[in-house]
Chain A
């Protein structure tokens, strides 16, 4: 189960970051070697992202803060998997593309939707994942995120779809 309260420092991205920005096809040969693939995560969009994520994390986790339509494009679940592997503990975005959003939750990586214009690069955040509340410790503002369907919250609470299915053996509605 992921931490319900998460502290971390933000790395900010723009709008329309595609799965080809996150892990382009030229690294398709690394998809069965996720630690190696993670070294290249987002390198075309944010040069040196992997080391930036590590240092932003410090003692805690990095928080990826994006604009609208994050993760548009391919169904490659390796994209949220390597974002998580690079030390990102949560994603905040104005909106996220459908498949990426579901994939991230299935990987146990929280994606919270809110007005990310109010958050700056390098801000320290405290995020309450279950309530969808964000406190920006740098600017002093607080933000509320939109709710996800209960089945997604339940999958996230178990740490992703694999542990969820291992536990429940099936999808459970109304859980």
Chain B
């Protein structure tokens, strides 16, 4: 019997034969925390009585959720995290460097790695073929000290993607469609593994968007096999030597196989207040929006800003709609400046936020008012997510967000292309 990609990586990292359903102890190649989960993790690390890190150079603290800090308590959390980094010689990415998951993709994640992060969207690293998963502070605290953790080896769903994205349709539309099909708990405790002939044409940016949202179907990981595109991305980011080919065996056992044809896909929108409440954009066209937000670990990359910039170029945002843009990293921001995307966006009336999580989780930089509606490119639209339980959030692609910001209402981006 062949192995799934999940079973292959966990066999390698647990130095044994890992089969779906087994519980294994696996080596951790990279462990990280961010500024809203890190303080608890470090207090727990100290409470256990740990002194040092197993792998200081493979341990990272990211200050991205409150960046820059809007409150004295969060500023004090930042001081605490910086001090811990000083004491232990771990790596730290301070305010303005970008979102943890983007920085992990740019600088650290490699095929076959096991990555644990105290943030649910750690699954983003699956785009590079890493078994990357989100955990709580206690689990990460222990991983920091022991360099390992335990996993129940998940059963896998194979998502078989064929065809080509039609004009105006993007990776975000695909992943929203998938979550609508699977349901918010349809893949709870499972692994999503992606395959199909369309992967050969799928950029790393698109893969990161898709892997990022695996957790919104409940999944433990969203894994892509490594290929020519993975190798190209690693080379571009100065670690071509880390490439290794990795894919599921033929004859691997999947709990479900879900085929998707990109040719049939249109722009999709998640309706309030659930990510799996997915409809074609036509069904919500015309809903007035007060804010459009392009950014986050789902859609704050260069390709996303390029699409948004192309749509708004030479146009103005609707006077009743704010347009917020948050690049996912400093590198993304620099490239967006060099390519003229920032200028096009700002001329259209956009506000450029610092690289980081920005408005996504409601603690600063775009908190919604009572009854306000936001169309966001983020991954969650739960009640209260953007700082106000009386506000309403729709999720869509950067193209749909940009087109909607111009018209002041939810708009099919194909009307503006």
Contact = CB atoms under 8 A, between A and B. Distances in A.
B136 A95 contact: no
Interface residues of B, number: 57
| B80, B218, B385: most-surrounded residue (chain A CB, <10 A) | B385
Interface string B174-191: 000000000011001100
A115 interface: no
Contacts of B37: 75-77
A26 B37 CA distance: 14
A24 B389 CA distance: 9
Interface stretch (B198-206, B295-303, B359-367): B359-367
B13 to A, nearest CB: 14
B134 A149 contact: no
Contact of A20 (B44, B137, B382): B382
A102 B73 contact: no
Given A25-B363, A28-B36, A32-B76, A77 B188 contact: no
A29 B74 contact: yes
Nearest to B35: A28
A97 B276 CA distance: 15
Contacts of A44: 383-384, 389
A166 B49 CA distance: 8
Contact of B138 (A28, A68, A74, A161): A161
Contacts of A16: 184-185, 274
A154 to B, nearest CB: 11
Contacts of A32: 39-40, 73, 76-77, 80
- Interface magnitude class on chain A: 35 or more
Interface in A27-45: 28-33, 44
Nearest to A45: B383
A2 interface: no
B73 A29 contact: yes
Nearest to A72: B184
Contacts of A165: 48, 142
Contacts of B76: 32
Interface string A61-92: 00000001100111111100100000000000
Contacts of A160: 138
7 contacts: A24-B362, A25-B362, A28-B74, A28-B363, A29-B70, A76-B136, A171-B150
Interface of A: 16, 18, 20-21, 24-26, 28-33, 44, 68-69, 72-78, 81, 95, 97-99, 102-103, 106-107, 149-151, 160-162, 165-166, 170-171, 173
Given A69-B188, A106-B136, 13 more contacts: A20-B384, A26-B362, A26-B363, A26-B367, A29-B74, A72-B185, A73-B120, A76-B136, A77-B40, A149-B23, A151-B23, A161-B142, A173-B150
Interface of B: 23, 25, 36-37, 39-40, 44, 47-49, 65-66, 70-74, 76-77, 80, 117-120, 122, 134-139, 142, 146, 148-150, 152, 184-185, 188-189, 218, 220, 274, 361-363, 367, 380, 382-389
